[in-house]
Amino acid sequence: MNRVSIGITVLITFTILSCDTEDFSISPMSGVEMSNCYNQSNWVDTLIRDELIGKWQWIYTENNSTLGVGKNKEHLNTYVEFFLDSTLNVTINGVLSSATRWAVVEENSERYGLELESPNSLFNGGILICDELASFNEFSSEGVTTNFFRKND
């Protein structure tokens, strides 16, 4: 094999290995696992607020009709950044999509949610946090929709 062939082979191998291998086709964690992990901590609004500060990448959306199946890429390359000044920015493919003010509010005695100045369906419902994952779980007459994000900083 000549040097050019070896060089091309090495380049192709390096390119393949360096690609993002995030699998958007499966849920990162079941709802039960996420809830159990969340319940291992004693969350209050200020702790959730502090944990959300930073940049998060959307990784998966699941609802009753797609429970655990399908390649769900509807929000691919969507990031949200929560700031200390109670603002957040949503970017898609590096372009600012929306910006709004936010606050953590008590949804019921066990869960918290986000109150947004400008609504965004990605953040509807109760918040669950487990390590580097956050989910927003919306319960409606049409079922449950869960949006998962992974901390990116």
User: Does residue 82 contact residue 53 with C-beta atoms inside 8 Å?
Assistant: yes
66 falls within a domain: yes
Q: Write the pLDDT tens digit of every residue in 27-85.
A: 788 889 999 999 999 999 999 999 999 999 999 888 766 555 544 677 889 999 999 99
Domain total of the chain: 1
- Residue 79: phi, psi to the nearest 5? -125, 145
13 falls within a domain: no
Question: CA 115 to CA 138: how far, in whole Å?
Answer: 13
pLDDT of residue 141: 66
3 falls within a domain: no
Closest alpha carbon to 53 in 76, 87, 78:
87
51 falls within a domain: yes
pLDDT of residue 3: 54
pLDDT of residue 81: 98
Per-residue pLDDT at 1 exceeds 90? no
145 falls within a domain: yes
Closest alpha carbon to 81 in 63, 62, 94, 65:
94
pLDDT-above-70 percentage for the chain? 76
Mean pLDDT, rounded, of the chain: 82
With a CB cutoff of 8 Å and minimum separation 6, the contacts of 105 are 45, 112, 113, 114, 115
Question: Which residues span the domain enclosing 85?
Answer: 23-151
Residue 146, domain CATH:
2.40.128
With a CB cutoff of 8 Å and minimum separation 6, the contacts of 151 are 54, 55, 56, 132, 133, 134
127 falls within a domain: yes
67 falls within a domain: yes
14 falls within a domain: no
pLDDT band at 9 (very low <50, low <70, confident <90, very high): very low
The mean pLDDT of 88-100, rounded to a whole number, is 97
Per-residue pLDDT at 118 exceeds 70? yes
Q: What is the pTM of this model?
A: 0.79
The mean pLDDT of 131-135, rounded to a whole number, is 96
Closest alpha carbon to 82 in 94, 99, 96, 95:
99
